[in-house]
Amino acid sequence: MSADRTQKIVENVPGKYYVDESCIGCSICVEIAPDNIRSNLNEGYEYIFKQPENESEEKQCIEAMEICPVSAIGDDGTERLDS
Ligand code: F3S
């Protein structure tokens, strides 16, 4: 099971990491990567508000991706600007 880049939550900023619509809002990822992931409490899901900008943020995003119970976080979301 892995995240689906065609099912991204709309609030994600463009780039490598994203949360998809299978997120159940457990919020574990926000605790692990608070500099990059935040909650939309009204909608009950989380999203990437900033792509990682340094090694420690990247590590936290990878850890969040690995720990997400429904594999809703993906790392293949780079947009192709030439297509
Ligand atoms: Fe959602 Fe997974 Fe985070 S379910 S809240 S993306 S840990």
Give residue 82 CA to ligand 1 midpoint distance, Å: 30
Q: What pLDDT, on the 0 to 100 scale, is given for residue 80?
A: 58
Q: Is the CB of 48 under 6 A from ligand 1?
A: no
Question: pLDDT tens digits for the chain (83 residues)?
Answer: 689 999 999 999 999 999 999 999 999 999 999 999 999 999 999 999 999 999 999 999 999 999 999 999 999 987 655 54
Q: What pLDDT, on the 0 to 100 scale, is given for residue 83?
A: 43
Task: Tell the residue nearest (CA) to atom 1 of ligand 1.
Answer: 23
DSSP 14: S
- How far apart, in Å, are the Cα atoms of 57 and each of 43, 52, 69? 25, 5, 20
Q: What pLDDT, on the 0 to 100 scale, is given for residue 77?
A: 87
Strand partners, 19: 73
- Predicted TM-score (pTM) of the model is 0.92
Q: What pLDDT, on the 0 to 100 scale, is given for residue 79?
A: 64
Q: Is the CB of 27 under 6 A from ligand 1?
A: yes
Measured CA to CA, the distance from residue 35 to residue 53 in angstroms comes to 10
